[in-house]
Chain A
C-alpha cells in the first residue's frame, strides 16, 4: 500500500508569481500520523494542502495516496474520500446542520437510514445534542459550534485522510484550546492521517506527531516536535522556536 500521503518532487508556480509556491517538495506520511504544517503566510503551506485534494494541480512531480497517483483518479472521487476543513468553515447557509453533515454521504448515495444514523453519531461525537441542533441553520450557531459542524461534515463519509487549513484560526483562544484537545482526542480514537496547516507554532508543536516547517515553498524541517525544539535545522526554524520562547518569558514576568 505504501504511505498514506506521498509527495515526490512536487513543484507548483502560480502564474505571475516570482518563485514557486511549492518548490521540489518531497515527503511521506504514514497512516495515522497527525502532521502539522507550519509557516508564515505565503510560504506555500496552503498550496501544498490544496494539491492533495486537487484544488490545485502541481506543475510537476507526483502525489500518491496509499500508493495511487491522484492525477490518474477521478477528481471528484478523490475529494469525496478526503475530509476537508477550512478556516472560513464554509458551511452551506441554506442547509440545516444535519444536511450540512450529510452532504458527502448523500453525494456517495448512501441509503437514507444510514445517512441519518451517521449524522446523529457525528453530532454526538462533536458534543452537539442531535435533537437540539440537527435542524438548526449554521447562522444560529456560535463560531466554535460552526467549526465543530465543519469537522463533522469532513468526517461524515469516514475518510482515511483529513485536510485542515487553519481550522481554528478564526476562533477565540479559549474555544480554540478546547477544540484542539477535542481533535487530539478524536484523532487518538481513529486511524486517520491528518494534514493540519497552521501559522501558530504552539499549535503546530502541540498537535503534531510530526511538524513540517515551510519557508518560501520549501520544506525546511520535518521532524517530531522535540527535535524541532532541540535541533532547529536553520536560522528560520530557530527564530520560530525563539518567538515561542519569548512569548513564554512574557508570561513568566507576570507570575
Chain B
C-alpha cells in the first residue's frame, strides 16, 4: 500500500501506457481479423489452412516471438503491438468463424436460394446473427492481450510489465504485486465493459 501511495504517478503512467498498447493492438487486431474472416468465409479452402497456420503461430511462446521480431521491427512498442496482433488473430478468427458457421444452415440456404451473393449473405445475414459469439471472442482476445502486453516490457515497450520486471530484477515484492494487481484490474475492467456492451446487443 505504501508503494502505491509513494509511486502512484509512476504506476498510473505505466497503466496508461499499458492501456494504450492494448487499445492500439485490439483496434489493429480487429481490423485484420475482419479482413481474414471475410476471406475465409468467401473461400472455405483458405479457412482451414489459415486456422492451422495461426494455431501453430499461437503456440510459439510470447518471449520467443518478441525475440524473433526484434531484428525485423526493432526494440520497443511497435514490435510489441505486432506480436499482440499476431496472437490475437488465432483467438479472433477461430471465434469469428465458429460464430459464422453457427448460424442456422436453413437461414443461410434460404438467403442463398433467394439470390443473395456470398457477400450479401455474410453482411446481411451471417454477421448480424453471430454478434454474440464474436463479442465472446473479442473478450477472450482482450484479456489475453492485457496479460501478454506485460511481457512486452522485456523489449522496452513500456506499460505495467516494466514495473513487474523491475520488481523481479530487484526482488521487490510490492512492485511485483502492484504490477500484477493493476494488470489484472485492467483486464477485469475492460472485460466488464465488453460484457456490458454484449448485454445491450
Interface of A with B (CB < 8 Å)? Answer: 53, 55, 76-81, 84, 86, 88-94, 103-104, 107, 150, 153-154, 163
Which residues of A are found within 8 Å of B129, using beta-carbon distances?
A: 93-94
B172 at interface (Cβ–Cβ under 8 A)? Answer: no
Central interface residue in B110, B114, B125, by most chain A CB within 10 Å: B114
The distance in angstroms between the C-alpha atoms of A205 and B39, with both chains bound, is 47
B71 at the interface (CB under 8 A from A): no
> Chain B 99-113 against A: per-residue CB contact (8 Å), 1 yes, 0 no?
000001111111111
Of A77, A78, A91, the residue contacting B110 (CB under 8 A) is A91
User: Which of these binds chain A: B11-19, B78-86, B115-123, B147-155?
Assistant: B115-123
Question: Is the Cβ of A53 less than 8 Å from the Cβ of B113?
Answer: yes
Chain A residues near B109: list those with CB within 8 A. 55, 86, 88, 90
- Bound together, the chains give a CA A86 to CA B120 distance in angstroms of 20
Query: Which of chain B's residues have a CB closer than 8 A to the CB of A104?
Result: 114-115
A-B contact pairs, 10 of them (CB 8 A): A53-B113, A79-B113, A79-B115, A86-B109, A86-B110, A86-B113, A89-B110, A90-B107, A90-B110, A92-B125
Residue of B nearest to A103 (CB): B114
Distance A55 CA – B113 CA, assembled complex (angstroms): 7
Which of A76, A90, A154 makes the CB contact (< 8 A) with B104? A90
Say yes or no: A77 contacts B115, CB within 8 Å: yes
Are B106 and A84 closer than 8 Å at their CB atoms? no
Q: Give the contacting residue for A88; candidates B106, B115, B117, B128; CB below 8 A.
A: B106
Interface residues, chain B, with chain A CB atoms under 8 Å away: 104-117, 120, 125, 128-129
Known: A80-B114, A104-B115, A154-B114. 19 other contacts (CB 8 A): A55-B112, A76-B116, A76-B117, A79-B113, A84-B110, A86-B109, A88-B105, A88-B106, A88-B109, A89-B106, A90-B109, A90-B110, A90-B111, A92-B111, A92-B125, A103-B111, A103-B116, A107-B116, A153-B110
Smallest CB separation, A85 vs chain B (Å): 9
- Looking across the interface, which residue of chain A has its beta carbon closest to that of B124? A92
Q: How far is the CB of A14 from chain B (nearest CB, A)?
A: 16
Q: How far is the CA of A78 from the CA of B117 in the complex (A)?
A: 12
Closest CB-CB distance, B130 to chain A, in whole Å? Answer: 11
* Chain B min CB distance to A7 (Å): 19
Contact A94 B128 (CB under 8 A): yes
Complex CA distance for A4 and B54, rounded to whole angstroms = 50
Known interface pairs A90-B106, A93-B129, A107-B120; A76-B115 also in contact (CB < 8 Å) = yes
